[in-house]
Amino acid sequence: MRRTTALRTGLSALLLLGTWVTASTLPASAADSPARSGEAPASPELLSAMQRDLGLTRSQTEARLASEKTATAVERKAKQAAGSSYGGSWFDADSGKLTVAVTRSADTEAIRATGATVRLVKHSAHQLDAAKARIDDLSAPAGVSSWYVDPKANKVVVNVVTARQDDNDVQDFLAQARQTGPVTVKQTPAAPQTFAAGTVGGDPYYTGNVRCSIGFSVHGGFVTAGHCGGAGAAVYGWDRSYVGNFQGSSFPDNDYAWVNVGSGWWTVPVVLGWGTIPDQLVRGSNEAPVGTSICRSGSTTHWRCGAVLAKNETVNYSQGAVHQMTKTSVCAEGGDSGGSFISGDQAQGVTSGGWGNCSSGGETWYQPVNEILNRYGLTLHTA
């Protein structure tokens, strides 16, 4: 659905995508955003999008958003209370509670006092992260799609493409991975790929022959995916007018970039609703826990919702591995790259890639927005 000329003029600096979720460390520019008195949990249209994609009723959607907001606040307190015993955490949509894994029973009382439930595990998050880091140092073949720490399983999960699982190089990689620590292997139907696209119609930004989507406005520009353009590349808006240039870009290893905005364009703290939902204000970038709902808006597939599946996952694209990604059950397609993942009014990250599409389903990864802000010293533009 195309926006009106008035909306294009008023929000042109936001250009394309939608709304995202995640972050690693919280920068000074990403302050807590307390709920405003009488404020609805989300717009009716956003609630409808979540109902469509998550199979919920309106009351279930509102209850889940409230529980997820509480879980996000609890997670920070519980992690601090657990200290070195911390083994990870996840949100359970059925119970509406955050579960925190710990390696010492002596820590359970302090963690329960934060409002979280507790599970005793064998391996700490530090041990699991160290095992994953050792896997990061290995050379992964094309048949290995990604690997990440799963706090619920208390192991490092290595995903392999089903059709390639018996390849000798895949088996060799798995043998080396198992030597790094507690590892389990899962199958995935397809290899990940980035979601950039050739020049087509719609509301994009363009660089060369590639169409991508804007993630979030920052003071002085916007953040997006690194695979959309290299440092210095010129960027043009939906109307083909000059916007600015890629000031920094990293891909692979990372998948993030930022573009300066000028030449009559400006930034606003909004994610476009594409006429399907009202444009969404961005008020911060607090990181949402694993298991919480998340929505995305892109120049190709517009508003789509799902859940956070994993954090700090290494994704093995054909161009090379990308680290510290967050995996979601949200679908995406070509041209959605760089677009925004958002949880409530909190920015989470920019779309990188995935597998599948919005007809048959799939999974999508995003690069956490707080990592991008910290890397380039940027300040998120918030309402």
Q: What is the pLDDT of residues 146-175, one digit of tens each?
A: 999 999 999 999 999 999 999 999 999 999
Residues annotated catalytic, as ranges? 227, 255, 337
Q: How far apart are CA 44 and CA 41, in angstroms?
A: 9
Q: How far apart are CA 156 and CA 312, in angstroms?
A: 11
Q: How far apart are CA 126 and CA 80, in angstroms?
A: 14
Q: What is the pLDDT of residue 39?
A: 57
State how beta strands 256-260 and 221-224 pair: antiparallel
Band of pLDDT at residue 197, cut at 50, 70 and 90:
low
Token pair 């995903």 in the structure block, residue: 159
Helix (H) or strand (E) holding 309: strand 302-317
Q: Which of 266, 238, 219, 342 is nearest to 10 (CA)?
A: 266
Q: Is the pLDDT of residue 358 over 90?
A: yes
Q: Which of 218, 269, 363, 283 is nearest to 42 (CA)?
A: 283
Q: Is the pLDDT of residue 183 over 70?
A: yes
Q: What is the pLDDT of residue 32?
A: 33
Using DSSP, state whether 168 is helix, strand or coil: helix
* Whether the predicted model's global pTM rises above the 0.85 cut: no
Using DSSP, state whether 71 is helix, strand or coil: helix
